[in-house]
A and B are shown apart, each in its own frame.
Chain A
């Protein structure tokens, strides 16, 4: 932190730093209160005379590509998580940069996974200065214990686009790992041995970065059809043996929860949408790929079939369950942000009604509208929620940074936002007095559905009225909390923190909604 940086209280009363990694910040002001002005960031002017007329942008190696991009200390290197835990590209790029002697890089992934754990070593060696992006598992612990030199910055998928677009993050070198590409740099995610579906996360980087390198293990002659990334934005193309481990890129089959408790939550959420009238002809919804969300999709599908109702579109995270809806006529379209399993990948490749989307179309705060707020209902998860309906997806109650935001924050603008969560995990209550970290403000969260009751935000009297005659177990959130604390042995201890911020959570508009402080060691 700069010398003049200090902690101030934002509109939610959370203490946030005024300066993060040398950049001045705006504290969160409330939903829709921050009005950004000015003009968007633009990449430098380039011209076709600087690129091969025959369109062949291949270079022999990653090292050569990085050299041609002018790799030097302190640069920002971006990568994307469409290969999830099977990614072999991001680490290879950072390790190549290390070999070339680069220091103090900022790694800017759209998300990190356990396969990226070796980045810890690169941070210890000084190659990587800090990470701005989701930090899961070991990387989250590293950051939570205050070992990262810079501050972590967590953004939603839409927020990442906004930060790039506004020039808050200037990407020096964007690395786009592509399941299929041509020598010109056109990329497609839906074909090839490492097919992963949509490449939407990489789109912003391809448009705004100073330099763009495409890395592929499946080079096809021009043209690569379809192209999700336009070669006209690409500087270099590097061929490698393998971009990832296909078995970890998409799951063969996504697995529905077998837990009867979680199935109960899923069934009741589906019933709620039916009983309150959200499930009607031409409606839309979004559900992720978590076990409860998948079970929800199957229950809702059955109810829609029974009632003869068809959705206009569903948003994913696509899985075989959404694909089944498309193929059995329960929805007209899938608008797909990322593709989770083999059925999803097959469908996006073959079915024109299964459409890849990007954080720009779906989530971007500076777009002239976005899809997320047009969705009728969304079913999400959380690690913790509180009696004011604020929710946390980033840390656990022990204060450790463990998950990214993903599209979670962006989805909160749906017509009805439902968090489907167990009321406790082992002994740990999920409903608390005040969440450890606010990822999303309670005013945007309408329903918290647990296995022992459904709590509806008192701000949504319309929902309460619509469900007045329903046999669902609708209960005040305080009552569910008290019941769980009853058998858990009282409320849990609060985590103890030092005063040192280790990461900030950005709201969708780029303001700082909360801070993750270093946990106190015993």
Chain B
């Protein structure tokens, strides 16, 4: 699809999508003119409801973008205002016009920054150029959403998606999910960072990382883009090749921003030249290496995705095995995977009970000024105490145990 075509001496640019099957999106074509003001040709499925609103938004938007004279053709399938703004700006850019100012929707959301160690059991992939999935994504309760600018976005739609995700970060309420953005491979990823970082997502996924300096480069750009802001912005490098796996530990500790390390199995399998199997035997080494490197660098280890979204049993057994070898979460391609993943990564009753007993023993020892924590006849090492505390905190966060539930009760 050609985004830009010459007709006479003016250049026409378009953005967005149109057609019978398109929903909640909009197609905008802008043809700059020498005179005549803004001539709007509007066809909208929501004309009786928001026709006037769209006309007002286009008029104000073109003025902000610094376009005074143009033909603007719109086919709208019920796009929300933040989508309209993104498409309008993308079309103006595609027409070869450098906007006077970006068309930023008013910021209506700014979630608190996320903790380095927050729960990351599930992260729901949202194709970055498919706005209809954005608004309700958070309702399904994933720990995180990934606004994806990479593989799910066609090469000629990269700008469209980047502006759409930028606007979504300012306006869409993801209901407490951590907002992650997967940028493109460098150097295209640099353009993504320039638009995305100022909008304060909580985490950036860097795809196809093979060497630690790639992480350091991203880190430096982020630091610059954030200016003096103290707001944390975490990184999650994705290892997707044999070479990336070999450098896993160095990548995991390449920057203080790295909060988690993950693996992309589709690309990794292709790189080692075997198809993905159901039980993942071909990637067992790479996954374990990823886990070990992550733990060695004291960051989270996060698994890949399970692609067969209709196979609930398959996903369940994958998750349980994944948790057993040390992963703390995985990606979701469909909201229906979230519940299964959460259930699988949830601490089990015996795990919680044991952890509560250890924490209680630790607190007793502290109160009594003892240097050594013991439970029955067993000595408890400090790392075990720490892990137990983390597990109890997680169980509280998940509501598996109540705030006031204590080890003494568990001991009964």
Bound complex: CA A389 to CA B51 (Å): 27
B24 touching A427, Cβ below 8 Å: yes
B336 at the interface (CB under 8 A from A): yes
Q: Which residue of B lies closest to A452 (CB)?
A: B139
**A361, chain B: closest CB distance, angstroms:** 39
Among B52, B80, B139, B171, contact of A427 (Cβ-Cβ < 8 Å) = B80
A261 to B136 Cα, complex, angstroms = 7
Contact mask A46-65 → B, CB, 8 Å, 1/0? 00000000000000000000
Q: In the complex, how many angstroms separate the beta carbon of B76 from the nearest chain A beta carbon? A: 9
Q: Which B residue's beta carbon lies closest to that of A399?
A: B48
- In the complex, residue of chain B having the shortest beta-carbon distance to the beta carbon of A484: B135
CA distance A263 to B57 in the complex (A): 34
Mask of B299-321 contacts with A, CB within 8 angstroms, 1/0: 00000000000000000000000
Q: Is the CB of A486 within 8 A of B46?
A: no
| Contact status A489-B335, CB under 8 Å | no
Interface size for chain B: under 10, 10 to 19, 20 to 34, or 35 or more residues? 20 to 34
**Residue numbers in A under 8 Å from B172 (CB-CB):** 487
Chain A positions within 8 Å of B171 at CB level: 487
Assess whether A492 is in contact with B49, with CB atoms less than 8 Å apart.
Answer: yes
Interface bits B77-90 vs A (CB < 8 Å: 1, else 0): 11111100000000
Docked CA distance A133–B48 (Å)? 26
The verdict on A488 contacting chain B, using a C-beta distance below 8 Å, is: yes
Which residues of A in the span 416-467 have a Cβ within 8 Å of any Cβ on B? 425-428, 451-452
Query: Do A493 and B139 contact each other (CB < 8 Å), given the known contacts A260-B336, A427-B78, A427-B79?
Result: no
Residue of A nearest to B47 (CB): A398
A489 CB contacts on chain B under 8 angstroms: 50, 53, 57, 80-81
Contact of A493 among B24, B50, B135 (CB under 8 A): B50
Give the one of A398, A426, A490, A492 with max B CB within 10 A: A426
Instruction: Select A426's contact among B45, B52, B335, beta carbons within 8 Å.
Output: B45
Chain A nearest CB from B336 CB (Å) reads 6
Query: Does A263 contact B46, Cβ atoms closer than 8 Å?
Result: no
CB distance from A247 to the nearest CB of B (A): 22
**B81: A residues at CB distance < 8 A:** 487-489
Contact string, B139-175, partner A, CB cutoff 8 A, digits 1/0?
1100000000000000000000000000000011100
Complex CA gap A264/B138 in Å reads 12
- The answer to whether B46 touches A428 (Cβ under 8 A) is yes
Q: Is the CB of B108 within 8 A of A492?
A: no
Q: Is A42 an interface residue (CB 8 A)?
A: no
- Mask: chain A, 396-415; 1 = CB below 8 Å from B; 0 = not: 01110000000000000000
Residues of B within 8 A of A398 (CB): 48-49
Q: From residue A400, how far is it (CB to closest CB) to chain B in Å?
A: 9
Asked if B18 lies at the interface with its beta carbon under 8 angstroms from chain A, I say no
Q: B48, A495: Cβ atoms under 8 Å?
A: yes
* Known contacts A426-B23, A427-B79, A487-B80; A451 and B136 CB within 8 A of each other: yes
Chain A residues with Cβ below 8 Å from B140 are: 260, 264
List B residues 252-298 near A (Cβ within 8 Å).
Answer: none
**Interface residue B334 (Cβ < 8 Å from any Cβ of A):** yes
- Mark contacts of B326-358 with chain A using CB atoms, 8 A cut-off: 1 yes-contact digit, 0 otherwise: 000000001110000000000000000000000
Interface string of B27-60 (1 = CB under 8 A from A): 0000000000000000001101111110001000
Which residues of chain A come closer than 8 Å to B48, judged between CB atoms?
A: 397-399, 492-493, 495
B78 near A426: Cβ-Cβ < 8 Å: yes
- Chain B positions within 8 Å of A490 at CB level: 53
Query: Smallest Cβ distance from A269 to chain B, in angstroms?
Result: 15
Whether A260 contacts B50 by the Cβ 8 Å rule is no
* Contact status A427-B49, CB under 8 Å: yes
Docked-complex contact B77 and A426, CB < 8 angstroms: yes
A375 to chain B, nearest CB (A): 30
Residues of B within 8 A of A488 (CB): 50, 80-81
* A483 to chain B: closest residue by CB: B173
Whose C-beta in chain A lies nearest to the C-beta of B339? A267
* Bound form: Cα–Cα A360–B363 in Å: 72
What 15 new A-B contacts, CB under 8 Å, besides A264-B139, A487-B82, A489-B50? A260-B336, A261-B136, A397-B48, A426-B24, A426-B77, A427-B50, A427-B78, A428-B46, A451-B136, A486-B108, A487-B80, A492-B49, A493-B48, A493-B51, A495-B48
Give me the interface of A with B, judged by CB distance under 8 Å: 260-261, 263-264, 397-399, 425-428, 451-452, 486-490, 492-493, 495
Report the 7 A-B pairs with minimum CB-CB distance, sorted nearest first: A426-B78, A492-B49, A398-B48, A260-B335, A427-B78, A489-B81, A261-B136
| A and B contact pairs by CB, cutoff 8 A, 11 listed | A260-B335, A264-B140, A398-B48, A426-B45, A427-B49, A427-B50, A451-B136, A487-B80, A490-B53, A492-B50, A495-B48
List residues of B whose CB falls within 8 A of some A CB.
23-24, 45-46, 48-53, 57, 77-82, 108, 135-136, 139-140, 171-173, 334-336
